[in-house]
Structure 1
Amino acid sequence: MLRSALLGPFAGTFSTFLLAFSALFSIANPILNAIIFNQITADRTHPERLRLARRVGVYSLILLLFSLWVGSYVLSFFGITLGALKVAGGLVIAVGGWRLLNAPERREAEKTLQAHQEGRTAAAETVDDIALFPISTPFTIGPGTISVAITLGASRPATGTAWPYLLSLSLACLVLAITIWVLFSYADSIGRIVGQTASRAITRLFALILLCLGVQIMASGVETLLLPIIAAARR
């Protein structure tokens, strides 16, 4: 299972929380997003930016929890196995991490385009019109983040420990949403303190974590798919 493969010797609730939060934080990269958020909302008033940051935090939490709790059932409805989900999700994460590791500037440009929506974001009359789309998704919570949330949620234990596991993941989603809210609220200060150079260095560090996480998830998926075949061949 993904839980045993990623957690290794750690089986506690706190370890599950740390794994989920680090994975979601790495791929969501709210520090980089806060810097871009500061750029695309420069013409908004401070109260508007604070209201937008709060709404993005709430919407991000809803998207993460929905992916975590419901995503696996949607995949089961379409007949997608956990092994296939691990391989596909791990591939998406690994490719994204590799691209981010080699060209963070390109990632910044893609994120900026997502947020600007060819000028429609700046042209919106109120921040409420852009809070869900495009700021919350796909800018803040994109396909990669949703894939990680679904994969973690689908790897819930089959025994009675499933509830502590899912609650730990939910807590990680809550902390990430609060982090997004706080960072976006102080995006102007973060932009001045961190700057583009430091942001790209942090992005490359997160990209390496993403690449390793994607490879680990793919390896776990291949194991899940091949073990029944190997066991049948030995009979």
Structure 2
Amino acid sequence: MELWSAFFLAFSALLPLINPLGSALVFLGLVGNAPPAVYRDLARRIAITNVIFLGIFELLGSAILHFFGISLPIVQLGGGIVIAAMGWGVLNQNQSTASVPRKEDYSDQGADLLNHLSEKIFYPFTFPITSGPGTLVAMLTLSAHVSGHTVTSHALSHLGVFIAVVVLSLVVYFCYAYAPKITSRISPATAHGVLRVVAFILFCIGVQIAWNGLSSLLKALLKG
């Protein structure tokens, strides 16, 4: 019972934050013209990295923040600025660099392109594009909320959260791996428009997260 209740709670909380389809469009804009094999390989690595990243953060997130003396509002403020910067960058990309990949545009240097993009697997593809500060704050909240009164219920609850992370990462894989196909039937003008809208939403999300953190800090300052 604890396992499935924790699973559904975590899945419903993390799905809109990770937003696989919306993140896939941002991912598409950052990768640009690349063969399908590159997209699939990157998607596989990002999904695995995302599982490991969120799994570690679920278990050790609170301890890590406490060790470095970092509060949740600071995480929100700093992470929100990073997300806003990423959205702003995609929003201001030239049309040629943000184009939807077509077969005739594929480069013959697929291996070199993959090596170059592999350096970005964790940052920015996994964090903050796939799992941003909002996701990390949600993971910290879920970790504290699902903790049970017994060792068994505690373990089952955290297992449910981890299963939700794995399922969402699988969804991320399919959305990222087939991002070019998802948009292949969309006209370039429409794809550019959708990408700009998603980038603007990403920018606004970053500003909102940063504002939430700043508001908490200002409230604490005024009370002090």
TM range (shorter): 0.5 to 0.7
Question: Is 1:211 matched with 2:165?
Answer: no
Flag structure 1 segments of 5+ consecutive residues without an equivalent.
1-11, 113-118
Is the 1:31–1:199 contact (alpha carbons within 8 Å) kept by the matching residues of 2? no
Compared CA separation, residues 22 and 170, structure 1 to 2 (3 A) = farther
Is the 2:10–2:142 contact (alpha carbons within 8 Å) kept by the matching residues of 1? no
Q: How does 1:154-165 map to 2 (within 5 A)?
A: 154-156=140-142
Residue type of the alignment partner of 1:153 = M
Comparing 223-232 with 182-191, greater Cα deviation is found at 182-191
Is the 1:91–1:218 contact (alpha carbons within 8 Å) kept by the matching residues of 2? yes
Q: Which residue is 1:25 aligned to? A: 19
Q: Please give the per-residue CA displacement for 1:121-165, whole angstroms capped at 9, x wherever unaligned.
A: 6149xx8xx6x9336434631445343432333345856679899
Please, which of 126, 139, 146 is the counterpart of residue 141 of structure 1? 126
Compared CA separation, residues 148 and 192, structure 1 to 2 (3 A) = same
Give the paired residue count. Answer: 204
Residue type of the alignment partner of 1:82 = L
Residue 206 (structure 1) shift: 2.1
Q: Give identity over the alignment, percent.
A: 23
Question: Is 1:57 matched with 2:47?
Answer: yes
Residue type of the alignment partner of 1:228 = A
Aligned-partner Cα distance in 2 for 1:105–1:228:
42
Aligned-partner Cα distance in 1 for 2:136–2:112:
34
Please, which of 34, 42, 51 is the counterpart of residue 40 of structure 1? 34
Is the 2:47–2:173 contact (alpha carbons within 8 Å) kept by the matching residues of 1? yes
Using structure 2 for the length normalisation, give the TM-score: 0.62
Residue 83 (structure 1) shift: 1.8
Aligned-partner Cα distance in 2 for 1:149–1:194:
30
Aligned-partner Cα distance in 1 for 2:34–2:17:
26
Q: How does 1:3-18 map to 2 (within 5 A)?
A: 17-18=11-12
Residue 34 (structure 1) shift: 5.1
